[in-house]
Amino acid sequence: MLTQTPLWPEPPAPPTSPRPRRGTRASERRRKRWTIGIVAAVTSLVVAAGSAYALDVFEPEAAKPSSVVAEVQAAIAESVSLQSALTTDLDDARAVLKSPDGKAAAKSTRRALNTAIEDAERAVTSLKSVTTLASGAEVDATAVLKASDALDDDVPAVTAALREATGAVVASGRQARLARAVSGLETARDALKAAVVDGEQVYAESAADGVGRDALRAALDDTGDLTTQADKLIARAAEAQTTANAQADASPAATAQAGSAQAGSAEASAASEASADVLGDAGRLTKALAEATAGIEEAAAVVSAAAADDAAEVEADATDAGADDTGADPGDDTGTTDDTDTAPAGTCPEPDQVWSAENGHLSSSELAQIPFSSGHYVRSDVVGGLAELNAAYAAEFGVNMTINSSYRTYADQEALYDPSSKTAAPPGCSNHGTGLAIDIGGGVAAFGSAQYDWLKANAEAYGWVHPPFAEPSGRNPEPWHWQSVKAPNSY
């Protein structure tokens, strides 16, 4: 059997060491323990050093100095504070734009506030960029400090501009709202005064046992001191407007430093509360005035309608009696225009008045009831235009025109006429007797009201006008008197 020769010679066996003596073994054990202790100590030092670097106890030679760290931390804290405060001001500014004051403010002040809001939003975005530090590198720390210094200079100015613009919107809107409230209150007050005058006249002219007379008296008495309350509130509104104007003219810097987006000082805040109180009271009082006016007009309309019906019956009886006496056909309406003996020919006291025998003696075929006002009549050839005018009026104001007086018979005019007063024309001289004139109540009964101004601008397109004599500068100012363009005279 062949014997395989190994490729590599086997290493010689190590020589057998003689057994060490007892003292030698103890020495070796002591050396091993020292070696392990030294290695453990070095390892602990290395670990501790690594932990220190990790915990920023020690920093590498390239890290930023501790003074820079403190500056960066202070800059970040300041940016967080500025961002929080500016965000609050932004929320206030946006809320103001949506508030009643903001919606009523002048467009220029709203545009200025929108611009200030955009600037503030950009500032907030910039502040967010310096509220965190991307790394511990010195270059990042330097960039944060540089950006923070720039924002410290810019943000206070942006904040002041935002607060100033917000305050300007509040002041502008509050002034506009106060002006509208005062205008509405004055219109409602004047309308009630006119309704009271008309109502008292209707009451005085009605029969003692007339239908609706007691209800009219109650409506008149229920007005109480509403007009006096309105006068006092209008005075309060004027004071509030004066204060608001003074606040609007105050120093913008003082307003901005007051720390509020809606008021620059305790005085401004108090003025704002006073204005809000006036606005609330004006709304409630205006509603009460309008309700009282409507109550009087409705009660007066009932009394007038009853009186008109009674007068029509009396006139019909008289016409029938005259027809029987003369042998005329009782169904012939033309006979009503021939009784000139009851309307003596003559001249009227004013040059713009024209007397006619037919005045107050129109036949039923010549008249038409006003569609939106039961019991009131005008000449049939003008009622269509009046109905169209009312439709346009109702579309604008949400209610029909209130007709307080329309066609009057000769007897009606005779009962109204007082030679010592210019309120009513003599019988035979009034355009009410021609069926071409009406008296309108509601807001129309006050010069300068929204309803009056609307009629002045639009009525003529429908064939109705306000005559010169009834203008504020006319001989007998009557905002409620309107007549057809077909009227033969201006009264």
- The domain ranges of the chain are 66-296, 335-484
Kindly state the percentage of the chain with pLDDT values over 90.
Answer: 20
Phi/psi of residue 339, nearest 5 degrees: -85, 60
Phi/psi of residue 372, nearest 5 degrees: -100, 5
Residue spans of alpha helices (H) in 55-137: 66-98, 100-104, 107-128
Window from 80-84, 246-250, 442-446 with minimum mean pLDDT: 246-250
Asked if pLDDT for residue 457 goes beyond 90, the answer is: yes
Distance CA 431, CA 411 (A): 14
Distance CA 179, CA 173 (A): 10
Coil vs helix vs strand at 212: coil
Structure confidence at residue 199 (pLDDT): 87
Structure confidence at residue 268 (pLDDT): 58
Distance CA 482, CA 459 (A): 9
| Burial tier of 291 (Cβ tally within 10 Å: 0-12, 13-18, 19+) | middle
Asked if pLDDT for residue 135 goes beyond 90, the answer is: no
CA distances to 187, 390, 391, 458 from 396, rounded to whole Å, are 17, 10, 9, 11
Distance CA 140, CA 465 (A): 80
More confident residue, 389 or 259: 389
Predicted confidence band at 201 (pLDDT cuts at 50, 70, 90)?
A: confident
Burial 89-104 (b: 16+ CB within 10 A, else e): bbeebeebbeeebbeb
Structure confidence at residue 37 (pLDDT): 47
Distance of CA 131 to the CA centre of its chain: 41
Q: Interior CA angle at 29 toward 23 and 31, to 5°?
A: 105
Q: Is 335-484 assigned to CATH 3.10.20.90?
A: no
Distance CA 218, CA 303 (A): 13
Specify the pTM.
Answer: 0.45
Distance CA 410, CA 39 (A): 134
Task: Outline where DSSP puts E strands in 204-338.
Answer: none
Place of tokens 């003082």: 254
**Length, in residues, of the chain:** 491
Place of tokens 């000769």: 410
| Burial tier of 486 (Cβ tally within 10 Å: 0-12, 13-18, 19+) | middle
Predicted confidence band at 311 (pLDDT cuts at 50, 70, 90)?
A: low
Residue 231, amino acid: D
Residue 442, amino acid: G
Predicted confidence band at 487 (pLDDT cuts at 50, 70, 90)?
A: confident
The DSSP call for residue 469 is: G
Q: How high does pLDDT run on average in the chain?
A: 74
Task: Outline where DSSP puts E strands in 268-321.
Answer: none
Q: Is 295 within 8 Å of 219 (Cβ atoms)?
A: yes
| Burial tier of 125 (Cβ tally within 10 Å: 0-12, 13-18, 19+) | exposed
Predicted confidence band at 62 (pLDDT cuts at 50, 70, 90)?
A: very low
